[in-house]
Chains A and B, each alone.
Chain A
Amino acid sequence: MKGISSLIKLLGYALALLIFLVLLIEIFSLTSDLGQGNFKAKIANIECIPENDGLKFNIEVSYNGQRVLKNFKAFLKIKNITLKSHSINLGHNETANLTIKVPLEYLGNVIYGNSSLLLGFEFNYDGIIPLKIAFRDFKDAYGIKIEPLKVGYTAYNSECSVTMNATIINYLPLEIHGKVVFTVLNYSKTSNITLMPCNTTVLNLPLVNVPKEDLEKGVAFSINLLVKGKVVSSRTIIIKI
């Protein structure tokens, strides 16, 4: 009886040691992949889906390591709801595109509510270690973007009159009613704005007189878009002559 019990123990310990060693090697490889930035995921583009009033996130993923990432999925987490892409196996030096469709009602929660949006990806490293990496508050990647279009100025003795145009790109299939707050030094102007779904709106900002010496150092022109009092997009442009 003692012989059998010793054999059971020995077999168990030997197998456990083997598993620990395998895990140790895998973890070492995983951390070196993390250190070298071998996993990459970026939003390639965002498309509006007219038929179901949703949004399609096209995510480009790539892996430059030596192992295989099994069941690789991208996911978006809105509040408690997780939307996942289809899964793929990503091998050495492979790039793939994944798509996540987000229905309109969830997007409304992000823009008008206080729901956070997390973008992430999950996979089984070499089919052994499940790993999940999620990025919080990736505001710049989705929704509404403010881009400067044209800046012009007329110089006087000690002042400069600066005019600026910007565009607000609404990637969302939602009509958005909000306020644009334009701030330069002590000057601030708030105006109402309506952004059409999946459309670009040109913003003609008021002419501002700025002291020449300030402009030589660089002046920050801030544009904030507020929806229901919450900043949904902002952009600061430093203008210097």
Chain B
Amino acid sequence: MGKSIIKGVLKGLGTSIVTIIIPLWLISSIGGYFEKSLYESFKTEYVFTVEYNVEAYFATIIFLSIIIGVLEESRVWKVLGKSLRLALFIISFLLIYTLLESGIFSRTVIVDNVAVEVTIDLRLILYAYGFLIVLPTVIATLMEIFPLSSLKK
């Protein structure tokens, strides 16, 4: 019992770090870095503030992922755990989508009393996350769920 809980915790932690935390951290770093350098490049008086409070999201995702990991290790709750894992992926994708403002950053800076509107299209990151992380994980999880649910029948 204790062994499977520890295994579930480690699995949940590992999965959330590899599939959600690292990509989310990378994406928010790219967005934040671009925004920061934009204000520095244009030498504006605008004070840059970090807009993304990703730490709170990280903590929630890790916590939920650990619980899901424990459920996945249980024989009774395995299917529920995997289904919840899918839901967590979809939620984290929506979270990234919101954080990235649909992938298009638009910021206004003032240079020599002229307002300059800079728009960068980072939808490629969303496509990469959606098609190369979320989609394969969803497919892989579904491939794991189907044999389990057919066994139960």
Contacts and interface: CB of A to CB of B under 8 A. Distances in A.
Interface of A: 1-2, 4-6, 8-9, 11-13, 15-16, 19-20, 23-24, 27-28, 30-31, 34-35, 37, 118, 120, 128-138
The 5 closest A-B pairs by CB, nearest first: A12-B136, A5-B140, A31-B37, A16-B132, A130-B121
Contacts of B116: 133-136
Nearest to A118: B117
B76 interface: no
Contacts of A28: 33
Interface string B31-73: 0011001101110000000000000000000000000000000
B132 A12 contact: yes
Contacts of A12: 131-133, 135-137
B149 interface: no
Interface in B101-153: 114-122, 124-125, 128-129, 131-133, 135-137, 139-141, 143-144, 147
B18 interface: yes
A137 B133 contact: no
B95 interface: no
Contact of B117 (A20, A31, A37, A120): A120
Nearest to A2: B144
A8 B141 CA distance: 10
B152 to A, nearest CB: 16
Nearest to B34: A27
A31 B143 CA distance: 42
Contacts of A34: 37-38, 41-42
B125 A137 contact: no
A8 B128 CA distance: 15
A143 B90 CA distance: 52
Contacts of B37: 31, 34-35
B3 to A, nearest CB: 20
Contact of A137 (B114, B136, B137): B114
Contacts of B26: 20, 24
B30 interface: yes
Contacts of B19: 13
Nearest to A122: B119
Contacts of A2: 144
Residue of A24, A27, A37 with most partner-chain B CB within 10 A: A27
A120 B117 CA distance: 9
B113 to A, nearest CB: 9
